[in-house]
Structure 1
Amino acid sequence: MVNTYSLAMAKRNINYLQFFYQNVRGLRTKTNIFYENILSSESDILMFTETWLHDGISDSELCNDVYDLFIRRDRGSLGGGVMIACASRLQARARTEWDRPDLECIWITVPARVLGVSRNLHVATVYLPPDRALPVRIELLSQIITEVIDQNPNDYLLISGDFNLPGVEWTSGHPVLLKRGAVEIQNSASHLINTTRCCGLNQYNFLTNSHNHTLDLIFANFSNTTMRSSCPLVPEDTFHPAIVVQAVDILIPPLKLKSFQKHFFGRGNYERINSELLEYDWGLVCDSGSGLDRVIEMFYSVINSVIDKYVPKSTVGGAYSYPVWYSRALINVIKEKSKAHRLWKKYSNPHDYATFALLRDRQKKMQKECHKSFINRSQENIKNSPKQFWAYVKARKKNKNSYPKYMTYDTNLLTSETEICNCF
């Protein structure tokens, strides 16, 4: 088992929840740069609109197991699409009961037990195309928001997305309707403002685009700091600045990397194993007079005892890991960048920030070069070593396949491995 938490996230010297939002204007031709940049992201939950993804692009082409991906691929043509990437350690689950076929919106929930608080966190990302159906979609979204709040009145809630409402001037006080555009859209915008106010949601993004409009909105019922991101995951669109949201009041437990003991069966002494199993008096197990469950328990006790005795074990995990194509020089730059970032956050020294920014740019450049070099090297060696090439292709094309973090049985939500196994 390989620990796939990103080093940037693990060594972040802040322990509050951090969000990232970007309208990416299509990922079909940007999967490589997206994959490279998300590996060095420091955010816990990343939200994207206009992904333009389809079923031909697998999750593994976008990210490794650092994040769990929640994607809606509503269209076969260009346009639309929403996605949330949530850090795997947050154990988020999709809330499909809040999805609607006529609304490009996706919902997830991060359980309170993971956050170490008494309140769940619900996160949604929505894309509202600027067409004639915009008022209907806003009305539908307002209904869902009201439903979620009614069902979970004490929980945290954050909604991000491209709302395409240039007729509203969003200020830190009260939003101002500019009486611009169709009357139906103005009325629906007013209805959205009233709904979010009644639900205790404030709009926190006041960044404007190249046309002095705010199209991407961040609604939340908890205080946060919203700012423009200095590290967009793909080239930024002039209409949609990338956003970072820091929820300073939602603290998350520090990341603890798990380690465990693993048998190395390739080094086992199988002559001694066979000899000891042949010499064992199995009659003591079969004739014990106990029930079947007790006999099976005794049988496996003997087997496991012999394995522990003659097969060596080693501790694995518990350390940060990197993609196979990372060079030693790149890893050193990442470590130095993390150190400079910690110093800047601690002392607010401009010199530390300059060092951090320089190393961040160097990391991006080296990361791109290492990835390209690995691809080229794999292609050149395909005749002599095709196994390496096809292992890489297979890893990038296959969908993630792991044991579920949660399951439902009747109306019960099961979150532990023991609870899930006991249901079968």
Structure 2
Amino acid sequence: MQGSRLGLILENHPATQMAVVSPFVTQANIDSTKNHITLNILYQNVRGLKTKTKTWTMNLLLQACDIVAVTESFLDDTVEDAEISGGSWSVLRRDRGSPCGGVLIVARPGILLQRRRELETDSGEDLWVSCNIQGRSMFICVIYIKPSASDEDYMNLFCKIESFIFDLKGLVVILGDLNLNSASYNIVCYYSYFVTLCGLTEHNNIVNTHGSILDVVLVQEHVETIVSDTEGMVPPDLYHPPLNIKMNIRTAKHSDRLEPSNISNSKDWNFRKLDYETTPYSNVYGILGCSFDCNRCTTYARFSEIRSNLKACIPEAYENYIRRAESNIKANPLGFWDYISSLRVKGGFEPNVTLNGCMHSGVDAAEAFANFFADVFLSEVPKLSVDEVCLNDDKLHGTVISIPKFSVADIAY
């Protein structure tokens, strides 16, 4: 009784009121309902933590979010985890080893982070962690790619993620600074393909003071995600506003009925024990007939008409596309070669050309391309020389143009 009375007095005492209501807690501060949980992640490019550890620690103790993801930490072996953990937050980091770069993730007590080194690139700055929040598995990655990164650096990251992302059983969240504004044109194009291929959705629409967006917030599943600007852990960088990422995640719940395999691989129908001979298929067809508009002649006629029109349009559309491409090259050959040259300037991928069964690359590819089309280009300016035509009547070549007759009206001034 005395202990309970003392606790009540301390809770209501002004000196201890802040300790009661502030986030100095020993467990995760996650809002949850019966079927959903709300997870708050703070992301910031801090541009160095070595000289800001005091501000960082103070804000971490007062922070209401659940997870903090950081890029450009600038940390090395001289800074211990205890200096940035606030005493109770768990810390996972990947330092570059040089004065710049580096990424880290910290999580509130109660959220157990596990580093997944097998998902990381060998020489990049991507940190993958997994955690389980109230029965829901999550994979969180924080990435930093330096502005001087090569196309190979980008492709190593993209291809690595593509190789395993569909095998991950859980929600995937990718945060970071990819510096796409300084990447080559090919990388920017491939990034759009990468996001679509992996089923990722970009949720960040917060622009910096210069009117651009440098940081990405990619979520794989269809999860309600709200990204807003916030104060951050340290004074913000003008190019990287701190982001508060609020995610409303549906929790896993037990299902009393057996789900098909296309919903969950762990719950599958066993057709091997089915008695195919005595199964009343009429019942199945009846259910399908009640649920779908099947076996309707009018419906099929409409479908057949649309399909026929589509089949007729595909070859025509393809021919029009080829015709426009050829016409554009003919009308503006300089633009075509400018585009080819720009690929080399922007660090584009080295093209390969196959000619007569041989593969050519680099300069050899350009030579093979030029040799193949040599016959359609004149090697020199044509000469309108009647005398030369008469002298070489039996050995006419492409540089001589024979004009038997023309009038003054045919000449364009």
Question: TM-score normalised to the size of structure 2?
Answer: 0.51
Using the TM superposition, give the Cα deviation of residue 93 of structure 1 relative to its aligned residue in structure 2, in angstroms: 0.3
User: What letter matches 2:179 in structure 1?
Assistant: N
What's the counterpart of residue 129 of structure 1? 146
The offset of 1:90, in angstroms, is 1.9
The whole-number CA distance in structure 2 between the counterparts of 1:9 and 1:252 is 21
Tell me which residue corresponds to 1:219: 218
Task: Calculate percent identity across the aligned residue pairs.
Answer: 26
Q: CA deviation at 1:207?
A: 1.0
Provide closer, same or farther for how the CA distance between residues 6 and 190 of structure 1 changes in structure 2, counting only shifts above 3 A: farther
2:154 aligned residue: 138
Q: Hey, what's the Cα distance between the residues in 2 that align with 1:157 and 1:34?
A: 27
Q: Per the alignment, in what secondary structure is the counterpart of residue 233 of structure 1?
A: coil
Look up the SS of the partner of 1:90 in the other structure. coil
Unaligned runs of 5+ residues in structure 2 are: 1-21, 254-413
Change (3 A) 1:194 1:58: same
User: Would you say 1:89 and 2:119 are equivalent positions?
Assistant: no
Cα pair distance change 1:30/1:251, threshold 3 Å: farther
Q: Which residue of 1 aligns with 2:46?
A: 24
Over the residues paired in the alignment, what is the CA RMSD in angstroms? 2.5
* Number of the residue aligned with 1:249: 249
Give the whole-Å Cα distance in 1 for the aligned partners of 2:224 and 2:251.
12
Residue 141 (structure 1) shift:
1.4
Question: How far is 1:5 from its partner?
Answer: 7.3
* Partner residue, 2:134: 115
- The correspondence of residues 165-180 of structure 1 with structure 2, limited to 5 A, is 165-166=180-181
Paired position in structure 2 for 1:401: none
Q: Which runs of 5+ in 1 are unaligned?
A: 167-180, 254-424
Alignment deviations for residues 344-378 of structure 1 (CA, whole Å, 9 cap, x no partner): xxxxxxxxxxxxxxxxxxxxxxxxxxxxxxxxxxx
Pairing 1:151–2:150 present: no
Partner residue in 2 for 1:100: 121
2:24 is aligned with 1:6: yes
| Alpha carbons of structure 1 residues 52 and 151: separation in structure 2 relative to 1, 3 Å | same
Whole-angstrom distance in 2 between the partners of 1:144 and 1:45: 25
Q: Secondary structure at the match of 2:209?
A: coil
Give, as a single letter, the amino acid of the residue that structure 1 aligns with 2:60: I
Cα distance, 1:41 vs structure 2 = 1.2
Alpha-carbon separation, structure 1, partners of 2:252 and 2:27: 12
* Cα distance change of structure 1 residues 146 and 210 upon mapping to structure 2, 3 Å threshold: same
Aligned equivalent of 2:178: 163
Matched, 1:234 2:254: no
Give matches, 1:288-299, under 5 Å. Answer: none
Matched positions, count: 227
User: Structure 1 251/39 Cα, relative in aligned 2: closer, same or farther at 3 Å?
Assistant: farther
Paired with 2:59 and 2:209, the residues of 1 have a C-alpha distance of: 24
The CA distance in 2 between the partners of 1:73 and 1:186, in whole Å, is 29
Bigger-Rg structure (1/2) = 2
What does 1:38-77 align with in structure 2 at a 5 Å threshold? 38-77=60-99
* 2:55 corresponding residue in structure 1: 33
Distance 1:137 1:226 in 2: 30
Residue by residue over 1:283-327, the C-alpha shift from the partner in whole angstroms, topping out at 9 and shown as x without a partner, is xxxxxxxxxxxxxxxxxxxxxxxxxxxxxxxxxxxxxxxxxxxxx
Matches within 5 A, 1:301-380: none
Q: Deviations over 1:226-264 (max 9, x none)?
A: 3333331100100000001111124599xxxxxxxxxxx
Tell me the distance in 2 between the aligned counterparts of 1:62 and 1:32: 9
Letter of the structure 1 residue corresponding to residue 188 of structure 2: A
Contact 2:202–2:217 (CA under 8 A) maintained in structure 1: yes
Contact 2:45–2:237 at 8 Å: present in 1 too? yes
Of structures 1 and 2, the one with the larger relative CO (CA 8 A, separation 6+) is 1
CA distance, structure 2, for counterparts of residue 49 and residue 247 of structure 1: 20
> 1:122 and 1:16, CA in 2 relative to 1: closer, same or farther beyond 3 A?
same
Structure 1 residue 42, shift from structure 2 partner: 1.4
TM-score of the two chains, using structure 1 as the length reference: 0.50
